[in-house]
Amino acid sequence: MVRPNEEVEALLHEYADLIAITGGEAFKARAYEKAARAIGGYPADVSHLDVAGLKEIPGVGKSIAEKVVEYFRTGHVTVVEERRAEIPAGVRQLITIPTLGPRKAMALYEDLHISSVGELADAIKAEKLRDLKGFGEKTEENILHGIALMQQAGGRILLSTAMEAAEDIVAELSRITGCEHCAYAGSLRRMKETIGDIDILVAARRAAPFMDALTDLPSTAEVIAHGEKKTSIRTVKGVQVDLRVVRPDAWGAGMQYFTGSKAHNIRTRTIAVHLGLKLSEYGLFETEGGKRVASRSEDEVYARLGLPWIPPALREDRGEIEAGLRGELPEVVTERDIRGDLHTHTDLTDGLTPLEDMVAAAAQRGYAYYAVTDHAPNLYMQRMTDEKILAQREQVRSLDGEHHGMRLLHGTELNIGPEGEVDWPDEFLQGFDLCVAAVHSHFNLGRKAMTRRFVRACENPHVNIIGHPTTRLLGKRPGIDADLDEVFAACARTGTALEVDAQPDRLDLGDEDILRARSHGAKFAIDTDAHSIPQLACLRYGIGTAQRGWLTPDDVINTWPLRRLRRFLRKDRAG
């Protein structure tokens, strides 16, 4: 992703929120939202553009372009600063509660002087909200639910947010003289879906220059601890970073220890004890006499324990130790195995980028095939029609093979209705190369009806992939309630793949559901669901999640050669 673009995206989103809270016109807030998304999804670095260049971006007019230029020239935007000053930080915190919009947040502040999440929870408990205009018992319930969801996230951050921060810091520290290795470890290296804190490891003879560099970074807001062995800081975005510096000859042992997980480490330490050895972050030593037997590389440490090197995503004590001891570790799927993306959008619906640009960007990633799957008509706000999708098909056919032979598949993202029905009749669906189908409404049908709904969708001979199957949004919306074992079994039986949607706030299916689905024999598609060119790079998060679910290339249909994929896409149909 392009970092300056993301900064502007965040700033414009904030400005839109501020406009909404302070009672500004709704259309103005919407215009800033739209520009924020467009800039976030713009493939080129916007910090290099002047006003004229910025105005080329759809949705960006003169006034927004000028603010962006001001931001890169001065580091701030005056009107944003002014609006910020009008609103207590607590109110801005209120609108981060899922289900509570800016208008309600401002009403709470003006009528009840509520300016923090804690005060809001107290007021709900005292039943103070239900008498406010526009509120009621149901609103109280919804807000409490939103607060609970926010607290469940428990200060954990999305994998992508942690990854971007960590990669910046690793790049900075790697430049320092004396740095022999630098990498992130912990849950981030294991590609967990959310991250508590970032753990960074450096191998060097002297620790001080690295510790000092971390505390001096411009993105460091607060120093939590500053020591010889470990330094902890908090970034301006509120993310905690722990840095440890180890001696170069202990790099492997350090990485093994600080990658974790704790549960995995307990197992490796126990194996060491049985071998008359002691394993720590400094190395593997003989218990008697303390002679060092391994520490330089992870490979060496694992080998001395009788284990192959274990991919970090598997290190959760979910059977990887046993599999390793038997020599049966899976060869998990990697980004290099992926031959194409099977769920992507264009600006024909809610994507930001025209078809030809998405296709060109996909080709640059070296894909052998690429599917375009814009939204189908029942997602009404996308205004899809038969004519539009057929015209797009013509366009897809004309671009097919134009980029070093990359094949294009024309698909759609269908909406699974409450009864499991989808947007178009069979005859029309026949014309697509593949169909993703996903739930976008009626999230609370009840378990039985929801299960039946998914099973019916799987039984549709044209539905190839269930998109973001649980519809969860990390930290915002729980997954749907269905008998997933029944759904997964239906997928396996009907030849319908389950998606591992790589959008960082979805990662859906998640690792545990993948493990379950795999045990039913289901197949998977790791897709980005990209709505812009930068989002094509989210694939890595889907790959990490798939690895945590023990998926191998054979489990993942978009690692297959096109012929095998096409056979799968035909389901049981003849021809």
What's the rounded Cα separation, in Å, for the pair 426 and 461?
Answer: 8
CA atoms within 13 A on the CB side of 459: 11
| CB-CB contact of 243 with 202 (8 Å) | yes
Q: Which CB, 2 or 202, lies closer to Ca ion?
A: 202
Part in contact with ligand DGT (CB under 6 A); list of ranges 86-94, 259-267, 288-296, 394-402: 259-267
Among 9, 140, 197, 300, binds Ca ion (CB under 5 A): 197
**Number of H-type helices and E-type strands within the chain:** 24, 17
Segment near Ca ion (CB under 5 A); pick from 42-50, 89-97, 236-244, 527-535: 236-244
- Interface of this chain with ligand DGT, residues 197 to 216, rule: CB under 6 A: 197, 199
Cα angle: 531, vertex 536, 538; to 5 degrees: 105
CB of 506 to ligand DGT, least distance (A): 19
Given 146, 186, 467, 469, the residue binding Ca ion (CB under 5 A): 186
Cis amide prior to 261 (ω within 30 degrees): yes
Selection from Ca ion, ligand DGT, none that 261 binds (CB < 5 to 8 A by kind) is: ligand DGT
The listed partner (ligand DGT, Ca ion, none) that binds 171, CB under 5 to 8 Å by sort, is none
Tell me the C-alpha distance between 386 and 531, whole Å. Answer: 21
| CB 424 within 8 Å of CB 376 | yes
415 scored as a contact of ligand DGT (CB under 6 A): no
Output DSSP code: residue 175. Answer: T
Let me know: does 24 contact 79? Beta carbons within 8 Å.
Answer: no
Distance CA 242, CA 265 (A): 19
CB of 184 to ligand DGT, least distance (A): 10
Query: Under rule CB under 5 A, how many of the chain's residues touch Ca ion?
Result: 5
* Binding of ligand DGT by 187 (CB under 6 A): yes
340 contributes a contact to ligand DGT by CB under 6 A: no
The verdict on 316 binding Ca ion (CB under 5 A) reads no
> Does residue 199 touch Ca ion according to CB under 5 A?
yes
- Min dist. Cβ of residue 192 to ligand DGT (A): 6
How many Cα neighbours within 13 Å face the side chain of 335? 12
Which residues have a Cβ under 8 Å from the Cβ of 308 and sit 6 or more positions away?
302, 324, 327, 329
Q: Nearer Cβ to ligand DGT, position 258 or 370?
A: 258
List the one residue from 46, 68, 147, 195 that touches ligand DGT (CB under 6 A). 195
> Does 242 participate in binding Ca ion (rule CB under 5 A)?
yes
CB of residue 179 to ligand DGT, shortest distance in Å: 21
Among Ca ion, ligand DGT, none, what binds residue 262 when CB lies within 5 to 8 Å by partner kind? Answer: ligand DGT
Number of Cβ within a 10 Å radius of residue 399:
19
Three-class secondary structure of residue 568 per DSSP? helix
Q: Applying CB under 5 A, does 193 fall inside the site for Ca ion?
A: no
By DSSP bridging, strand 194-195 and strand 198-203 are unpaired
Applying CB under 6 A, the residues found at the interface with ligand DGT are: 186-187, 192, 195-197, 199, 257-258, 260-262, 265-266
